[in-house]
A = this chain, B = another copy of it.
């Protein structure tokens, strides 16, 4: 009976192929070099604040991988910020990245812990004072001053367990890590 329960808990859940997840973790444990990934994008300026990125093949698990479909995304500035509003602003994509990373983690952690989720929704807000970007202040930073995420999570577990799942997702989120701790960025220029 206990064995059956364990098997049930480790079966696919929340759309997460939990057996494959555990198998992947075991393979990487014995071959840690498979964990080295590189994601890539190319970007082309169009006009004004509008540019277009293409998410390219990525490297990892010992090979090169292409996404199934075309992954092309524009960004722009809104009219109130002297853009053409053909697409969202770059900073809004940070909000999408953060919400989607934490949410993917919640689904995976819940599956690994045998919890079936019925709903994960979030709202996310980023406060930014444009005195920095506009060059009108040397004390106001250019980027967001703070970001707030609020999750509504429903599933077949007590509230406390659901909250622990969100905590664990936060503790292992790549985007949360980058946004809260920063990352070294090198910028090279070929001009002429």
Show the binding face of A for B, using Cβ within 8 Å: 14-17, 20-21, 24-25, 28-29, 32, 35-51, 53, 55, 58, 60-61, 65, 67-68, 71, 73-78, 80-104, 106-108, 117, 119-136, 140-154, 159-160, 162-163, 166, 170, 172-192
Contacts and interface: CB of A to CB of B under 8 A. Distances in A.
A95 B53 contact: yes
Contacts of A140: 35
5 contacts: A16-B49, A43-B99, A143-B176, A180-B183, A180-B185
A166 to B, nearest CB: 5
Contacts of A20: 82
B28 A136 contact: yes
A162 B75 contact: no
